[in-house]
Amino acid sequence: MTTYEARPIGPDALKELRASDDAGRPCVPHAAAEGGDPLRCCLRGAEPGERIALVSYAPLRRWAAETWGRPGAYDEQGPVFIHAEECEGPAGGRPGYPFSRAGALRTVRRYDADGRIVGGRLLEIPADEESGFDAAFAEAFADPEVVLAHVRAVEYGCFHFEVRREGHVGQPLDSCPG
């Protein structure tokens, strides 16, 4: 089975979010108290004492800006944790998928090239976490319309990471969005 790439928030978006988030609020750093907060910049849990920030992030809006998508009402924003200062991003060779633990509930939302939801599913992460996610992504990308999948926590709806169809970079539309 194919392993899919969990994508973190990109460096350009992170630079912007560290100044002002997608809701227009300034970034307010703080020290992680207990650690474990899911950092979307490097796809790992925060360590106690690390300087982090909780910011509002609009993943579909940012993806659409790169690909000329038009998500319309599906454009949403929500809270994510990031490092307050620049970090090295995800560790190379990291096994499995981030923020994954057996028994946790996730949604895998599927989007088409315009950024509209074309399906989704509830995933209770199995004991073999990686194969559970691989199967969910294989199911999602079996639909030729699906170009992007977002993984979110069920409990709070938090965005965890995205997976893109291999080779899809988005195509300009016949006319400029507007």
Residue 177 has pLDDT above 60, yes or no: no
Over residues 70-125, the pLDDT tens digits come to: 988 888 899 999 999 999 999 887 778 999 999 999 999 999 999 999 999 999 99
Domain boundaries, the chain: 11-164
What's residue 72's pLDDT? Answer: 85
Residue 127 tokens, joined: 């004991």
What's residue 2's pLDDT? Answer: 58
What's residue 175's pLDDT? Answer: 34
| Percentage of residues in the chain having pLDDT higher than 70 | 92
Mean pLDDT, the chain, as a whole number? 89
- Model-level pTM? 0.87
User: Mapping DSSP to helix (H, G, I), strand (E, B) and coil, where does residue 132 land?
Assistant: helix
Nearest to 57 by CA among 35, 81, 37, 87: 81
Q: pLDDT band for 172, please (50, 70, 90 cuts).
A: very low
Residue type, 36: G
Residue 174 has pLDDT above 80, yes or no: no
* 63 touches 75 (CB < 8 A): no
Task: In whole angstroms, give the CA distance from residue 55 to residue 22.
Answer: 8
Over residues 35-52, the pLDDT tens digits come to: 899 999 999 999 999 999
Task: In whole angstroms, give the CA distance from residue 39 to residue 90.
Answer: 10
Task: In whole angstroms, give the CA distance from residue 80 to residue 100.
Answer: 16
